[in-house]
Amino acid sequence: MLKAVYAGAATREYGSKARLGTAGNNDVGGAFAGLGVSARNLALLAIGFGCMVGYSRMLTLGFVGYLSNGVFESTDLWYGLRSGATLAMFAVLALAGWFRWFKVGTKTLMLASVGAIASAIVFAVDSSGAFGWVVALVGGASAAMLMYVWLLLLSKQSVKVIVVSTLAGLAVSGAIIMGVPRIDWALALLVAVGSAFMVGASAILLDHDLACCAPDGPLDKNSAVRVPWLTLVMFLMCSFVGTAIYGIAQHLTWLYDWQPNYIAFGVGACSGIAATLALALRRRAWVHLVWVPLFAVLALALACSCFAIRDFIRVGVGFMLATVFCAHFLHWPVFSSLFSAMRIPRSFLAGVVLFFANGSLAAMLGDAVGGALPHSMQNLGGVAGIAAIALCVVFFSTLAAYRALLGQGDIPGITETGAEQLSKSAGMGDGGEGALKLEAGEEGPELGPDKPEASAAPADPLAFLQKRIDDLSVEYGLTPRESEVGFLTVQGFSCGYIAEKLVVSESTVRFHQKNLYRKLDVHSRNELIEFVQ
């Protein structure tokens, strides 16, 4: 039955433009709110993502305050086991994507969901019993598997769908995290188990064979040059530094009696999230700018912490909390949007970014450093100053390395002109999204006898058309469904054939063609064909 329902779903491997969750045969008058996704799939994305975040948060705390009593300590044995299992699983998944060891399939996802459900039940009944360490390891590994699948699943959507679904999912996870401690124990256990179940079930309903998780191999030089390394490194660095410093602050004596300024936390969290998502939706060069809002919130936190005044320190800690909150939420829409926009292998990078974005490692390091500081150094201003210097060093080092990578003359398929365009984009100029390459037919510098001409069109006409549609999709912000319709339209197929091919109505096809004409500034099918070819 699932195969029949998803017969028309747009699922494809790396290098193809169709993405999961687009409007299919369950459309009602076309795409939902112009997003290119059905209302049903958008709801599944929001609920599944929200349950995943909510369950992960409960598991990270060992269900303390949710299904068990006590005081949560980030240095206890169970926390270390859970975090270690999670990080180890991320590393294994990254290597599996690089070397193509195995594919995460439906059975693996179901097993991870069962492990997550069992962990919640055992922690609720007897978290510190004889099998507590086994449950901690199983729970951590299962949660890592679920998070990995969801990052890849989100990365197959358009940027708009990612933003809308993750924001709606944030509301769902907030209701779970804030509401569960206020309900009866048995009902709380039901919510935890239901959340773990919905994470796996939603993913399978959206992508019944998990085509999004197919291992797509290592990063070659052509792929590596298209990765926005400055954005990845700075975003991960801001997340790590913010979490580690807050862990240090928890060990400083003055923080025991002083509370963070929650107004500063609210302002920092809301403005950081809003600015980041607005950049992703509104700016063409967002892939190189999307880390800036998180960096700004962290810079405010460090600046306020440098003043030895009680109110300033409270404001600084409030912004520090906002940095941690923004980082933990934003790495989902940011990284999945980057993978969606870039034509790069995803399976390896997904494991890598989840490994370094996981807050457990930074929290444990912050706790250890804070506990090891001598009394004479228990001043947040000094720690903040060192962190600010480290951020500056990382920023300039990464920027220099990135520019050196873009300027390498021996990267196949990248000409000097293409490298200049990429460098302009990396330098936050008015460049376009994604990988900027020479258009077919443009003249570039001489590449030498051992290098192919960058301007040569592929021998396969369909491959050439697909490449042109992919490039135009990145440059003009086409949705996945618009790209599909455009690819079939430029081949000369009728609306009826396209509707049958994509399992949608003819009115839906015309709706996407109209949007396609508007974005590309053409007025007919013939103009579209000329523009693309």
CA 438 from chain center: how many Å? 28
Domain final residue pick, 377, 406, 435: 406
Stretch 323-338: mean pLDDT:
93
Give the pLDDT band of residue 374 (cuts 50, 70, 90). low
Stretch 508-514: mean pLDDT:
85
Distance CA 166, CA 143 (A): 18
The answer to whether the beta carbons of residues 27 and 508 sit under 8 Å apart is: yes
Q: Which of 232, 229, 238, 177 is nearest to 362 (CA)?
A: 238
Stretch 456-469: mean pLDDT:
69
Identify whether residues 212 and 248 lie together within a single domain. no
Would you say residue 385 lies in a domain? yes
Please determine, for residue 96, whether its predicted confidence score (pLDDT) is greater than 70: yes
Identify whether residues 212 and 228 lie together within a single domain. no
Q: Find the domain containing 289 and state its range.
A: 222-406
Would you say residue 431 lies in a domain? no
CATH number at residue 468: 1.10.10.10
Would you say residue 456 lies in a domain? no
CA-to-CA dists, residue 69 to 47, 122, 134, angstroms: 28, 14, 20
Distance CA 177, CA 280 (A): 27
Q: Which of 212, 215, 180 is nearest to 196 (CA)?
A: 180
Domains in the chain: how many in total? 3
The answer to whether the beta carbons of residues 15 and 343 sit under 8 Å apart is: yes
Instruction: Give the ranges where 211-291 is alpha helix by DSSP (H).
Output: 221-224, 229-249, 262-282
Mean pLDDT over each residue of the chain, to the nearest integer:
77
pLDDT of residue 422: 35
The DSSP secondary structure of 130-150, one letter per residue, reads TTHHHHHHHHHHHHHHHHHHH
Would you say residue 3 lies in a domain? no
Identify whether residues 176 and 241 lie together within a single domain. no
pLDDT of residue 198: 96
pLDDT of residue 56: 93
The secondary structure of residue 67, as a DSSP letter, is T
Strand partners, 64: 68
CATH number at residue 359: 1.20.1250
pLDDT of residue 152: 94
pLDDT of residue 499: 84
Identify whether residues 159 and 196 lie together within a single domain. yes
Please determine, for residue 256, whether its predicted confidence score (pLDDT) is greater than 60: no
Considering only residues 527 and 409, tell me which one the structure prediction assigns the higher pLDDT.
Answer: 527
> What is the pTM (predicted TM-score) of this model?
0.71
pLDDT digits (tens, 9 = 90+) for 310-321: 788 788 888 988
Strand partners, 37: 22
- Please give the share of the chain, as a percent, with pLDDT higher than 70: 75
pLDDT digits (tens, 9 = 90+) for 57-94: 999 888 888 887 776 666 577 778 888 999 999 999 99
Strand partners, 32: none
Q: Which of 365, 55, 12 is nearest to 201 (CA)?
A: 55
Identify whether residues 185 and 89 lie together within a single domain. yes
Identify whether residues 252 and 175 lie together within a single domain. no
Which tokens is 338 given? 């980057």
Stretch 149-155: mean pLDDT:
95
Please determine, for residue 349, whether its predicted confidence score (pLDDT) is greater than 70: yes
pLDDT of residue 451: 38
Would you say residue 371 lies in a domain? yes
**Residues shown for the chain:** 533
Would you say residue 226 lies in a domain? yes
Identify whether residues 58 and 118 lie together within a single domain. yes
Half-sphere exposure of 184 (CA within 13 A, CB side): 3
Domain final residue pick, 217, 249, 284: 217
Please name the residues in contact with 410: beta carbons below 8 A apart, sequence gap of 6 or more. 221
Q: Cα torsion for 70, 325, 204, 506, to the nearest 10°?
A: 150
Identify whether residues 210 and 230 lie together within a single domain. no
Would you say residue 285 lies in a domain? yes
Identify whether residues 243 and 184 lie together within a single domain. no
Residue 76 phi/psi, 5-degree rounding, is: -75, 165
Would you say residue 149 lies in a domain? yes
pLDDT digits (tens, 9 = 90+) for 474-497: 777 788 888 888 888 888 888 888
CATH number at residue 160: 1.20.1250.20
Please determine, for residue 51, whether its predicted confidence score (pLDDT) is greater than 90: yes
pLDDT digits (tens, 9 = 90+) for 212-237: 898 888 887 777 877 888 889 889 98
Domain final residue pick, 217, 238, 265: 217
Please determine, for residue 428, whether its predicted confidence score (pLDDT) is greater than 50: no
Stretch 161-180: mean pLDDT:
94
Please determine, for residue 3, whether its predicted confidence score (pLDDT) is greater than 60: no
Stretch 418-430: mean pLDDT:
35
pLDDT of residue 176: 95
User: In one letter, which amino acid is 381?
Assistant: G
Distance CA 468, CA 30 (A): 25
Lowest mean pLDDT among 13-17, 357-361, 517-521: 13-17
Stretch 283-297: mean pLDDT:
87
Please determine, for residue 101, whether its predicted confidence score (pLDDT) is greater than 70: yes
Burial class (CB in 10 A: 0-12, 13-18, 19+), 388: middle
pLDDT of residue 518: 78
Identify whether residues 212 and 274 lie together within a single domain. no
Distance CA 25, CA 138 (A): 38
Identify whether residues 82 and 213 lie together within a single domain. yes
Work out whether the CA dihedral 482, 484, 490, 492 comes out positive or negative: negative
Identify whether residues 189 and 227 lie together within a single domain. no
Considering only residues 24 and 488, tell me which one the structure prediction assigns the higher pLDDT.
Answer: 488
